[in-house]
Every structure is written in C-alpha cells, then in structure tokens.
Amino acid sequence: MHKGAENKICLGQLRRTVPENWLFGSLAHFCQDTSKIWIRPNKRRTRHKVLNPFYIFQLFSVCLWFSEDYKEYAFAIIIMSVISIALTVYDLREQSVKLHRLVESHNSITVSVCGRKTGVQELESRFLVPGDLLILTGNKVKMPCDAILIDGSCVVDEGMLTGESIPVTKMPLPKMDSSVPWKMQSEGDYKRHILFCGTEVIQAKGASSGNVRAVVLQTGFNTAKGDLVRSILYPKPMNFKLYRDAIRFLLCLVGIATIGMIYTLCVYVRSRELPEEVVKKALDVITIAVPPALPAALTTGIIYAQRRLKKRGIFCISPQRINVCGQLNLVCFDKTGTLTRDGLDLWGVLPCSKNGFQEVHSFASGRALPWGPLCAAMASCHSLILIDGTIQGDPLDIKMFEATAWEMDISGADFHLKGVPAHAVVVKPCKTASQVPVEGIAILHQFPFSSTLQRMTVIVQEMGGDRLAFMKGAPERVASFCQPETVPTSFVSELQIYTTQGFRVIALAYKKLELDHHIMALMRDKVESDLIFLGLLILENRLKEETKPVLEELISARIRTVMITGDNLQTAITVARKSGMVSESQKIILIEANEMTGSSSASISWKLVEEKKHLGCGNQDNYINIKKEVPNNDREGSYHFALSGKSFQVISQHFSSLLPKILINGTIFARMSPGQKSSLVEEFQKLDYFVGMCGDGANDCGALKMAHVGISLSEQEASVASPFTSQTPNIECVPHLIKEGRAALVTSFCMFKYMALYSMIQYVGVLLLYWETNTLSNYQFLFQDLAITTLIGVTMNLNGAYPKLVPFRPAGRLISPPLLLSVVLNVLLSLSMHIVGFILVQRQPWYSVEMHSACPVKNDSISKLTIPTTVPEKLGNISAFTSFENTTIWFLGTINCIIVALIFSKGKPFRQPTYTNYIFVLVLIIQLGVCLFILFADIPELYRRLDLLCTPVLWRVYIVVMLSSNFIVSLIVEEAIIENQALWMIIKRCFGYQSKSQYRIWQRVLANDPSWPPLNQTSYSGMPSCGRGVSYSNPVFESNEEQL
C-alpha cells in the first residue's frame, strides 16, 4: 500500500461504512455545495440596480414631473433608464451563466468508485469526497476532482492549467514501504502523479490489474480548477478614479442645488405664494441642477464604443471597463500563442560525429534524414499517442516525428516480439522510405518528461535488432549524462549561437541495453548513464506577423510592455529582443534569487547580459554571455530586468523591499505559474500602474481577472475571466482597445461637462426668472430637455477613436484642474450672458410688464420702431409664464446649449475630428436653424405654444450678438487654455508639481541612486539593505464602476 496515501484512503473506506441516510443527509449535502455557482435571479439583479442612489433620484424626479404634468420628458427618462438597467442586468447574467457552465462541466459527471465492501459502483461526481478510490475507464474523461494516480498510467490534456493543449503523461506514485509524505516519494515533480480537476484524460492504460486507479485528493473549490473559479469570482476589487470622482461631482451639483432651494424658498415665501407651489418650485431646482439623464447619456457612449469594438471582433462582457482601457500605461503579454505562434517549426538538425558537429541538415530542402541512431531517436523518443488514427501529443514531438516520414501504429494481438507488451506504440518507416535496415521500433517504456529533470527517456526495441535507450531534453542536461569524449568541444558555443537567435534547441543521446534485463526492473539512473551524444534538434518558434508592429506602436505611445510566460528564460529574452520589447541599445540584467538552503540565507544576484559577435562563425551570429566588467556609463543607459517565477517568489518572500525597484524596470518574467502571474499583475497595480493583460490560455485566467483590463485571445476558459475577448488571435486588438478606451473616456468627460453646463444654464436662467416669480413653461423645458439635450447626448458620442496612439493619456479624473476650470469658466460666461440679457431687456424703451408683445403692427423697419402700436392685453388672458425676461432667458439658454455642445465635442488627439461625426453636425445645424427660425419668425401661434413674447428685431439681433460673443470667448478659453498641453506643463513646473503615482516616485528615487542597479553582485536576506519590510503601500482597490 502507498503509505503516503493511506490516511486518505481510510477516509474513503469510512465513507462506505456509514449509514446511507447519514451520508446523503450531511456529508454528501456538504460536498454537493462545495463548487456550486449560484446564478442570481434577474429580479434580484434588477432590484439591486434600481436601488442605486442615482436611479432613486431619477424616480423622485419622475414623480415630481408627473405631479407638474411634465409627463413627456418623464416618459423619456423612464424609457432610457429601463434600457440602461436591462443592458446591465443582461451583461451580468451572461457572465454568471458562463461561469456556471464552466463549473458545472465537472459537477455532472458519473464516475466509478471502488469501496472495500460495496465494490465498484457508479456515483455522481458532486458526491465525491477526499479518499475515494476512482476507477478510470475509457478515453476523453473530464476529471471532476484532483486525484493522485496509484495504478496505471494516463495521458492528460492540461490545457486548462498550462494554456497549451499538450498531452502530458501521468505515472503512478511509486510503491514504497517508507512512511515519508507522498510528495517526497516522487523522483522529480510530484505533479506528474496528480490528475487535476478540469483536465481531460485522453487515454488511460491499466497495468497488471487492468484498471487505472486514483485516490481523490481534493474536491470543489479546493481543487486546481476550484482555485481558478475562486480567482474569477472574488478578484481583488478594482479602483478607477473616474467613478469615484463622478459621485463627488454629482454631490457638488447637489450642494449647488441646495443653495438654489434656499434662494427659491426665500423669494417665493416673500411673495406669499401657496406653500405647495413653493415646495414644488424648490424641488424643481434639484432636478434642474442634477441632470437625471446623465446615466443614460454615459451608457449611450459606452454602447457605441462596444459596438465599434464588436465590428473589430472584440467582444466585451463588462462595458464599464471600456473607459478603464483609456488609462492603460502597462500591458502584460503571455508569450506562447500570444506573441508567438502556437506551434514549432522544425528548422534543422545538427548531427554529431567523433570529429565534432557536422553540417546542419535542413528539412526545408526536402531531403530525408539518413538512417542512423539520430533518425531512430527522432522517430521513437517522444510521448506521442495514437487516438482514432490521429497522432496527438506535444507539438515539438509531432514536428520531430513528422520530419522522419515514419508511421505510427499500435501492436495488435497478432504482434509477437519478445519483451514487447500488447498494445505498445510501434513506429515504422513508411513505404517510400529506403535504406532502413529495421522493420520498425517498438516503444517499451517511458520515463516521461519533467520540467524539474528537463529530460525524458524511452526504452525501445528494434524489430530484429538491438534494445536501445534514447534521451531527449535540455542540451546542458543531456550532455551531463553523456560520455565526455562524445560531446563536441564546440558544444557550448554552437548552442549559444542558436538559442540567441530564438531557436528552441533539444539535444539527443542514446545507448545500447542488454536484452536479458527486464524493462520494469531497470532503474532510471542506470538507464540514463554513459550515453552517446547524437546531436542537436533545432526548432523555431516564430513571432506572429502582427507582434512587432503592435509592440512598436505601444512603446512609441509610452505604454510599457511586459512579457509573462511559462516558457524558459533564454527563449523569453530572445523573443523580447526579436519583438522589439527590448531594443538593441538596451541592456538586460538577469536576476537570480535562491531559497534558503540549510545554514545559508536566501540570496539574490544581478548579472548583466552582454551581446557580442561570435567571430568563429561565418555569419557572425550573436550569442549571450555574462559580462565580467561593467563600464561606468552602463547605468546611464536604459536597462531591463529578466527573472524567473522561482526568483520572483523568493524576492516576494525574502527581498520585498527590492520588489518595487525591480518592477519599475522588470520586463521579462519567465517560468511563471498561474498564481505568480496574478501576483505580478497585483504588484504592478500597487505601483499605481493601470495594467492590461493579454493571454490565450486558462493559465492566464487569474491574471486576466486581476488586471484592470483583461484581453483573452481564446474563447475557452480564459474568456470567462476576461472582460474582453478577441476573435482575432493576435495582439492587434490591444491598441484598438486602448484607442477606443481613450475615445470613450474623453467622451465620458465631454458628456459630464456638457450635462453640467446644460444643468447650470437652466439653473441660472430659472433662478433669474424666480426673482420675478416666473419660470420656464413645460413646453420650454421640453424643447430644451428633449429636442436639444437628449439629441445631443445621443449623437455627441458617435465620434470614433483617433487612428494613432499619442504618447500621453487623457485625464483620468473628473476632479482635475483643466476640467474644473473649463466647467467653472463656462458657467461664469453663461451666468454673465444671462444676467446681461436679463438686465438689458428690462431697460429697453418698449419693455413693460403689462404687455405681452413688443412687435409693431407693421414691422416695416427697425428705425420706425419706437412705442409698439399693439393694444396691451391683460396678463390674465395669456399664460402665466410669458414675459420678456422669460423669452430672452429661454433663447439665450437654448442656443447656448447648442454652442456648448459644439465646444465640448473634442476631436484629436483621442477622437476623430468633430466634422467626421456627420449625424452630430447635422443635428446641431438643424437645431440651430430651428432656434433661429423661432427667434426671427413672427408666428403668433408658435409663440403662444412656446409661451414666448414677440420682441423687436433689433433685440433679437442683440441676442444673437450676445450668443456669438459667448461662443467666441468660450472657444478661445477652451482651445488656448484648457487644451493647451504646453501651458499646463509650464504651470506644473512653476508650482513644482510632481506625480504622486507610486511608480513615478520610485522612478525619481532610482534616477538619483548611483548604486542602482547593482551589477555582478550577490546579496543575502540577512543583510540590512535587503530587509523584508514592505517599502510601499497603496489603498485597497475599491470598485465603484457600477455606481453610474
């Protein structure tokens, strides 16, 4: 028995002996709920959304308007709010349903469980508990739990965990009599014995017992997949200042409205109005100062951006994140399948002889590789399997095997060869192959590849020939197992030539075995000794065509790019160089950190990577070595740090004070596990970076969810965790998303400014009319609210993103000096214009409170106008709203809303120019034309409907002059001051302003530190400068993105 697993099996046996009613009444019920994702009903989601403070305010406004018979606009607000709420609820439900399906895929599986007394029985996977003994039969089985393999072998697709759909061979836990923990019984990585939840068992092969058996290790949220689901369900909350500032902005408007309420109460109480009228007028001020249509207007802008993204094949399940895209200043990329192509291309093979390396055999030439041990190794040293006539396995193995032009088969019942088990994998030369002295090679036993051991070995039997052992793996590791005299003296230099160019290099070796040894009795260490070096296999992992141009575009826009990959460090460095992530003039510093071992402390070393020309090679290829001496001017140039996941973990634990310094220039992170990817993204966020993450695998899910913006290039598990999913599997979507985010963010600011100005224009006009115990009529309000503002709010957002990424971001805060100054100055201009119009109209010679028209009977010429000849009518015969002040204020306010919309509609550098938004421009022209027509047209019926009074033509010209002056001054202020980047930079320098972002602070600190970065040094955790104290902090990331 496996002593390490004995306790867990006892738990399973105990489960089989308890009463059935107790089992399903308590333990089974508990286990059933461990990984269940509850989908919140739409009613609850809707109720939660409706109870948002802003929608409650909208409800209050609508009720007030109905009481005042202002039902047209009330219905419009209701319709817009219902659409906004429905879209939000729909998006949230779709996300929940996706996650529910992801989890339920392994909850509803029927498995075979073996009990001591009950024998084998079928059981739903949701009732599994740790300690149960699983019987795995058949192929294509989804694992419902984490289980440890104790008998038989399995081939598993772990794409859900690693991001690469590469079949992995799982071996049973070795049988040992010692009582050491089971994790210590493994020769290499203990994970090679574990079947992880969510992975797919492609093939299960029983041993002598005929069954594949595994002990349940973890269930529910404690499994590998459960950890992934937990990271999706409960990510660290995200803080985006726009939404927090929006609440503050609205609270300021509420404060202004409160002042207006007090003013209204004073004016109307002094005029001895009815109490209910006084209350209505006072409450009206709140609905005027705080625009109820603001959420709908912002939602419209986001919907337009979402639609533009959809046209580019980018789908969004969290629309509020689109605005966040506009603030990204750091983007992390996975490597395999994201920056580079998924598969590997076989470039060539470098055979070895007694005299050293021979000429490279290129497979592009179409020449077959001559028969020999090297060809046999390529045909048999792999973990490929045959399922339904299709070869499946590691892409590297597939490319290597296909290059030999051999065929694969499974030995049948009629296959008889001494020492070859039934159903063994047999490789044979194809019919077209010639001069091959063997009929085939049977693969007898595998020592599977392990990332810890960095190699794999197979024992094979040539049909009618020798029994051989072949090894394949990392060149340095393979060479260490070979006879020294068989390894060429130029091994290191040749290897560096190809690895520096980005090739993936695999070494091959072999030895002959004696036929009289039983395969299973052979220990791995005996097989893997005194090998003969065969040569190097050279594979190419090419960049995607779009990778380099996209990275260049991002870097030119001053957006940091970082690589986070599970691949090895050397390949990652080379890809970073080739892709332009690290330019030729920039240095790379390798950081290696090691855990405490025995009496020694944890250590961290810094080594500068230097590029030199290899003079011994005709084409002078580059190779990498560690520089011994460092010139004094090296630190003045740009540099990048490169480190592995292991080093990152050690630094986080033992050198936390160095972590922010490293992250400021950390660009290459290799051998990163899914958890380490998430931690790295979080650490970047603590430095106040707005982080984007682009990946294509399930191993990126945690990082995709943790990032401010996650972009999945896959529609599998990663799309559940990611707010954005691209149908185009390359990184071209990243700059598109940033451009649309910047455009959407600027649009949001434009809408905030416009809605604030529109509210303040109405607010100022109404308060001036309240002074005369007058106000605007319902139709006047309706014209401004519906015909002007609503149409502008719907069309102003139609501007697309500007096609070029500029090297600066739009402001990320509403409470910023330029935006506040813009709002305040425009409010003051509007206030001044309204006050001037209000006072001037009362001083006109034709002005009289007892008259409702100042137009002459025959309006032949302005010069003849003195005293109107119209017969005065009593105010009782006309609307209570009509007055010359009302008419003047309404025209000034209505046309000013159109002017403000034109001024605030920003174009370059983040949005397309305003003139390209044809619908918006057409709307403004029509609105302005209608307003001017109403202003200059003497149509009594139209004036009566709108509660306007006819005024002399000269006064109408004065109104146009006031509006034109306001437009010119406002335009000059906006373009010469508010949008003047150079002016604001001068102001910042004059006042000594410096960014308070953590990464900016660290950049300034490191720029003045002559000892940074340390080169060719080793530090230990016990040293004072390498303390574990946390050197930076940041408030908890709070999410307010659904507040609007």
**What residues are annotated to the active site?**
334
Within 8 A by CB and 6+ apart from 181, the residues are 4
Asked if 702 and 675 count as a contact pair (C-beta separation under 8 A), the reply is: yes
> Which residues are paired to 452 by β-bridges?
none
What are the structure tokens assigned to 639, written together? 């540099």
Q: Which residues of 561-585 are buried (b: 16+ CB within 10 A; e: fewer)?
A: bbbbbbbbbbbbbbbbbbbbbbeee
Q: How far is CA 332 from the centre of its chain?
A: 9
> Which residues are paired to 711 by β-bridges?
694, 724
> Which residues are paired to 468 by β-bridges?
460, 512
Q: How far is CA 142 from the centre of its chain?
A: 28
> Which residues are paired to 330 by β-bridges?
560, 691
Report the C-alpha gap between 778 and 71 in whole angstroms: 9
Within 8 A by CB and 6+ apart from 716, the residues are 159, 698
What's phi and psi for 570, nearest 5 deg? -60, -45
Report the C-alpha gap between 25 and 30 in whole angstroms: 9
Element of type H or E holding 202 = strand 200-205
What are the structure tokens assigned to 50, written together? 């409706």
> Which residues are paired to 148 by β-bridges?
194, 215
- Could you tell me where the beta strands, DSSP code E, fall in 614-690? 622-626, 639-644, 666-670
Please write down the HEC assignment for all residues of 1029-1043.
Answer: CCCCCCCCCCCCCCC
What are the structure tokens assigned to 753, written together? 């400014």
- Please, is 643 exposed, middle or buried when counting C-beta atoms within 10 Å of its C-beta (0-12, 13-18, 19+)? buried
CB neighbours of residue 437 within 10 Å: 9
- The DSSP-derived string for 343-373 is S-EEEEEEEEETTEE---EEGGG-PPPPSSH
What would you measure as the largest C-alpha separation in the chain, in angstroms? 129
Asked if 446 and 383 count as a contact pair (C-beta separation under 8 A), the reply is: yes
Rg over alpha carbons for the chain, rounded to the nearest Å, is 37
Report the C-alpha gap between 769 and 892 in whole angstroms: 13
What ranges in 884-995 are assigned the alpha helix state H?
A: 884-904, 918-936, 940-945, 953-973, 981-990
**CA-based nearest residue to 644, from 596, 607, 696, 698:** 607
What's phi and psi for 14, nearest 5 deg? -60, -35
Q: Which residues of 792-810 are buried (b: 16+ CB within 10 A; e: fewer)?
A: bbbbbbbbebbeebeeebb
547-556 and 569-579 helices cross at what angle (nearest 10)? Answer: 70
Report the C-alpha gap between 734 and 707 in whole angstroms: 14
CB neighbours of residue 841 within 10 Å: 22
